[in-house]
Structure 1
Amino acid sequence: MKKLIAGVVFGVGLAAMAHGAGDPEAGKQNAAACQACHGQGGAKPIMGVYPKLSGLGERYLYDQLVAIKNNSRPIPEMTGQLDNMSEQDLRNLAAYFAQQEMVVSQADPDLVDKGAALYRGGNMASGVPACAACHSPQGKGNEPAGYPHLGGQNAEYLAKQLKAYRDGTRANSANASIMVDVSTRLTDAEIEAVSSYISGLN
């Protein structure tokens, strides 16, 4: 598992060097349409199963926009939304949302201890690594590697994604392969606890 993570980090690190920069001001113009579902600045989605886009990281956001556009990460609600956008448009959108502030949610107090233990220490018995190893102790992610800022994200969305990784419906990239391996070792109760904990992490 450690070798897999190290190899992916190295590979995405090389790719990041070739990753062009987006223009957040240009991205702001195209972001207006996104607000209907994701809220102003991508910070307050209208439903808990929709992600907060604010502050996730430019590389991660760009990679996901590309995957959604080419349908390697199918999301029914996003069908057709990006069809008329160029590669530079997607880079600009990613740059805009990456600069917005993540609004932290409220974790369930009853799940904090269990969630914190998983996030910070993993589960040695089942082979679950600590989330903090890739996403940082504060949940701020790893921009060069394309690991998203998780702290503050909607718990309902996080749980949905972990289950998508676990059942293989989200497995479209090298980074996703890491999450597939991790999530297959998580129980429903662990997913609920760690998702709730992350939603209040900052």
Structure 2
Amino acid sequence: MEKLRLIKRGAESNIYEGYFLGIHAIFKQRIKKSYRNPELDHKINYERTILEAKIIYTALKNDVNVPAVLFIDPNNYLLVIEYIEGEIVKDIINTNNPTQLLPNIGKRIGELTGKLHNIGIAHGDLTTNNLILSSTNDDIFIIDFGLSRRTQDEEDFATDLHVFLRSLESVHSDFKDIIYDAFIEGYRKIMGRKTDEILELVKDIRMRGRYVEERRKNRSINE
């Protein structure tokens, strides 16, 4: 194994780009938390490393575009996965503003998300920063399953859609409607009738968020 360079330093893990047995790879190293009991910290990092690897493998064998797992060392909280050559979708939208490409990109992300949900996986951090347009096969891959979970709860799926919509509103507001409408079209293609139920839950989640925000504003005014 050869770690070449640190490409992302996060609260939960550090991400390196390097090579594993000659294969271009990403090394995800979970971080020990000094404020946690050492035994509990080891248990959490150990189990999360294994869970993330299993979820990625499940997605891969069910024909979802995710990086392949190359190596796992749960005792050292290390996960090595395939490096996806390509461009982050966030950068594609922000840098090039390719409005003619956006409906296709949105639809493909929707299909990809639907495939994940259809096999009982919620991603947990579905943003355009965690999607890559591959330069190898011109398809979209989803990455970073650190917050993912196995679930059949439609509210977990709705939360994925809510997070995706929020990311569009905050980072790609000019193209939000184009992308999200196409996303729902692709999602519906996979999830069928369940889509309407999940969209109703998305509305509920957003209403709750607005209620909390209004309450915070009123509290700060009164103080």
**TM norm. shorter chain > 0.5:** no
Into which bin does the TM-score normalised by the smaller protein fall?
Answer: under 0.3
TM-score by length of 1: 0.28
- The structure with higher relative contact order (CA 8 Å, sep 6+) is 1
TM-score by length of 2: 0.26
More strand by share: 2
**Greater radius of gyration (CA):** 2
